[in-house]
Amino acid sequence: MWWYAAFNRVEAVLWFLVSAVILVHRTQATGTRRRALVLAVVSFVLFGISDLIEASHADHYPLWLWGFKIVCGAGILISRWMWLGPQGLTWRSREVVFAVSCLLTAIVIIGLQNKLQRQQVVTPTPWSATESHHATARSD
């Protein structure tokens, strides 16, 4: 799946660009808003790194990678909350609804992935039978 790896690499570059744009605006912010921007930059950079890692794991998402991505998403949401203040980000705001939807989707995908992995049947290859035959013959 070369296209999947390529897509994740392009996505990582986009997250790095988002981080760069936010970093430029950091100079205009002060106090809590400046800390929010720093958290956003770190979260987006780490999210980009997670996409580069994902590109090399196209056939299987390790559970730790899901956790890493969820932590990055939480960092992005927390930075948004810090930027808007406690009154600006409510349970009805589109950012929270989107974040919760993404989190629930990730949990469902993790569950499906684990279920499918348990159902996979390992099929023997022709050379695995030959190797086991040679190992038995040598032990005689």
The whole-number pLDDT of residue 129 equals 54
Helices (H), the chain: 2-26, 31-55, 63-84, 94-119, 126-139
pTM: 0.69
The whole-number pLDDT of residue 136 equals 53
Handedness of CA 16, 22, 23, 24 (dihedral sign): positive
Supply angle C-alpha 68, 23, 13, rounded to 5.
55
Q: Give residue-wise pLDDT tens across range 31-78.
A: 888 999 999 999 999 999 998 998 888 667 788 888 898 899 899 989
Residue 117 pLDDT more than 70? no
